[in-house]
Structure 1
């Protein structure tokens, strides 16, 4: 199998006041951990995000595979506009409550997946309510076999769920809902409407978000080595955090 060349790297642009900034979380803002519940959130990052939100007039949102409840807990006391579970649930701007956008795979299918995966050592099943994530970071050699097994379970169920690949994870999610659709929903609503959308993400699950912001005249800024036609703007999550920190520091110095 030929080795893919590392993507070209670019310097990320300086943020502009008219941006609507959309941020993936794991691998983009936070360093990847062995298990989802082991991630660490630097306390300085929460303050940086708060100040950046003010700079963008509130037009800064998380667009993540995590649930909104998880993100609120991780970034407490910050409560940003958020698309959780790849856009299956959303909290738009202002003080509006979170809402379920689509119906989840049935409880029966989620339980079938949990039962099947429990027979495989070192595979973690995370039932998020609207999506089910099957993590195999500890057993990367199982990726293709797990995909085939999950696809068969979905087919046998007769449901219209979708199987999505991520970094050492397969997610069973509702059809016709992705991060691109989440961005589109945000952009139709204040305070995002009329701004230039910018999406930062590190995984193939962010591809729909990249495509949507570009379709809307915005900018896609990949993190790490995604091997996509787009040039990588950030080496890792630490580089994204530094970029945001420098941005808000520049604001205080009058350099925005």
Structure 2
């Protein structure tokens, strides 16, 4: 009997030759290993070199789409990607350098304050204020998972903010965008327009990107352990991602 889990485990690696691809890459868990704290992820010479070479090979059809802010994306990737989207689509920089930034929902300030109150008496809990969203990281306090989830759900109900669960993090964000809307916006513009979108992600937040890529004639690539996913291909870890990005070629 074939189970869902066994089907997911058998996801094939993405092909090494693609017809006019446009690559959309998550940061944490895809381009960079997951770390205990957000600021523990630092630039890496290999990653930067791979991204710069890839952007050149694909004539700029490369974008990083992350839950991190644009400033954090640029810090970690050393500005190797001209096109980037931060905070699940709430910030987006086009290839020409122009920016789209959503106005922050005022309720984000309430979420930040509530998260800070929660973290004050719980060692290992980290609050991240992204202006348009608030994140509560509990990687170093996994015993608080139930309390973190309950708090986030209550605040989402009270404020109308969008609850975005992630890998040992919850985020309350200004409504209106996700990684899928960011990918679709890029695909409507040069240099991505008319290309085949390929989204690489590891987290539940990347499923919107996988679905958007599929809808636009491309596919998703799940990085990491098997799970239910809209992705059609898989890679085991960050090293495999970088090796594939370094080798992938555009067919004539």
Q: TM-score, normalised by structure 1?
A: 0.88
Cα deviation, residue 88, structure 1:
0.6
Question: 1:202, 1:226 within 8 Å by CA — same for their partners in 2?
Answer: no
Structure 2 residue corresponding to 1:131, chosen from 130, 133, 137: 133
Structure 2 CA distance for aligned equivalents of residues 189 and 103 of structure 1? 25
Structure 1 residue corresponding to 2:78, chosen from 73, 76, 79: 76
Q: Which residue of 2 aligns with 1:205?
A: 205
Q: Which residue of 2 aligns with 1:122?
A: 124
Cα deviation, residue 9, structure 1:
3.0
Cα deviation, residue 46, structure 1:
0.9
Question: 2:63, 2:83 within 8 Å by CA — same for their partners in 1?
Answer: yes
Structure 1 residue corresponding to 2:41, chosen from 39, 42, 53: 39
Q: Which residue of 2 aligns with 1:223?
A: 223
Corresponding residue SS for 1:171:
strand
Runs of 5+ in structure 2 lacking a partner?
A: none
What aligned pairs does 1:1-256 form with structure 2 within 5 A after superposition?
Answer: 5=6, 7-16=9-18, 18-96=20-98, 98-104=99-105, 105-156=107-158, 159-229=159-229, 230-247=231-248
Q: TM-score, normalised by structure 2?
A: 0.90
* Structure number with higher strand proportion: 2
Runs of 5+ in structure 1 lacking a partner?
A: none
RMSD between superposed Cα atoms in Å? 2.2
Instruction: String of CA shifts for 1:68-89, please: whole Å, max 9, x gaps.
Output: 0111122224342011001111
Question: 2:73, 2:79 within 8 Å by CA — same for their partners in 1?
Answer: no
Question: 1:199, 1:210 within 8 Å by CA — same for their partners in 2?
Answer: yes
Question: 2:162, 2:172 within 8 Å by CA — same for their partners in 1?
Answer: yes
Cα deviation, residue 231, structure 1:
4.9
Cα deviation, residue 93, structure 1:
1.4
Number of equivalences: 247
Cα deviation, residue 15, structure 1:
4.2
Cα deviation, residue 44, structure 1:
2.1
